[in-house]
Amino acid sequence: MTPRFARYAVIDWSGARGSRHKGIAVALCEAGDAVPTLQHPPGGGLWSRRAVADWLIGKAGEAPTLFGFDFSFAPPFVTRGGYLPGDDVPVTGPAFWAYVESVCDDEDLGAVSLLERTHRRHFYFGKADGIKADYMHNRLCEAHYNAQGGGKPSTVYDAIGAAQVAKASFAGMRLLHHVHAHVPVWPFDPPPEDGSLVVEIYTSIAARAAGRPKGQSKMRDLAALNDALLAIESLPHEGLPPDDHGADAILTAAWLRRAAPRPSLWTPPMLDEKIAATEGWTFGII
């Protein structure tokens, strides 16, 4: 069954400390070819993670909407036999999200405390932790994407540097815990026949589909963004160019609108019940 949606939203996410985040951008579009538009939090300014959760729950109840987030919905599990081997933690995605929520005391759904204190030994912060390669574990969908030439995704156990995704992903798991009671999350839940759904996305997949060269997915001017939008059958963005977070969200929302009707993307050959329950899958990888 291929789910059908009336709207498509993509959230460029952030795990940064604090309560308002310049790294969060939210884009929304209807079915058709209109360019996705950037959304803003009530009162304006920067988004908080809690405001994104509230916005999602509200929009999900208005019309069937497919929401895409660019963080890892769970740590690797299948190849390691656990999320945090040797530690007593749950063994399914939704239960693990609840656990992350229970141990984090950071503001605005942050999760730095889990990385720096509760489960510190599992994360690489620098040379004092030993050999970085020992922490480079990936989920099966990430390894599959890399094997196809898509590039090597970051691992949630790498917590150092600007490119790390650890803080964003564990903060995202707290968000998933809050929204899961209201909106199903694929593939941990099956796609609904009607209604809204949350999926994991990878903005680089959208950029590649739009013709952006490998390693050059960022669009830093209006011409680059509009060339990419044209390639995936979207009308152009008018007005001032967005920042790179906004451009990622806009392009990926337009891509999600075109990709969602493809049945093959909902049934990746490697995705079995164990993977679906534990690691999840990035939508668009087959």
Q: Are 11 and 68 in contact (CB under 8 A)?
A: yes
Distance CA 22, CA 152 (A): 26
Helices 93-103 + 166-179 axis angle, to 10? 110
Under a CB-based contact definition with an 8 Å cutoff, are residues 219 and 225 in contact? yes
193 — pLDDT class (breaks 50, 70, 90): confident
Residues with Cβ within 8 Å of 53's Cβ and at least 6 positions away in sequence, in order, are 109, 175, 178, 179
Each domain of the chain, given as residue ranges in start order, spans 1-286
Q: What is the pTM of this model?
A: 0.95
Taking 90 as the threshold, does the pLDDT of residue 1 lie above it? no
Mean pLDDT within 257-272 = 96
pLDDT at 172 over 80: yes
Candidates 100, 104, 11; CA nearest to 54 is 11
pLDDT of residue 105 exceeding 80 = yes
Residue written as tokens 């451009």? 247
Instruction: Please state, in angstroms and rounded to a whole number, the distance separating the CA atoms of residues 166 and 115.
Output: 8
Taking only the tens place, the pLDDT of each residue in 65-88 is 999 999 999 999 999 999 999 999
- Mean of per-residue pLDDT scores for the chain: 93
On whether the CB atoms of residues 109 and 100 are closer than 8 A, the answer is: no
One-letter amino acid of 76: P
42 contact partners, CB below 8 Å, separation of at least 6? 51
- In one-letter notation, the amino acid at residue 274 is K
- Token pair, residue 253, equals 């929302």
What mean pLDDT comes out for the span 93-107? Answer: 97
Question: CA 262, CA 187: separation in Å to the nearest integer?
Answer: 16
Collapse the DSSP code of 2 into the 3-class scheme (helix H, G, I; strand E, B; otherwise coil) and give the result: coil
**Distance (Å, whole) CA 125 – CA 18:** 20
Q: Is the peptide bond before 36 cis (omega within 30 degrees of 0)?
A: no
Does position 2 have pLDDT exceeding 90, yes or no?
no
In eight-state DSSP terms, residue 96 is: H
Lowest mean pLDDT among 195-199, 221-225, 275-279: 221-225
Identify the residue whose tokens are 């963005």: 237
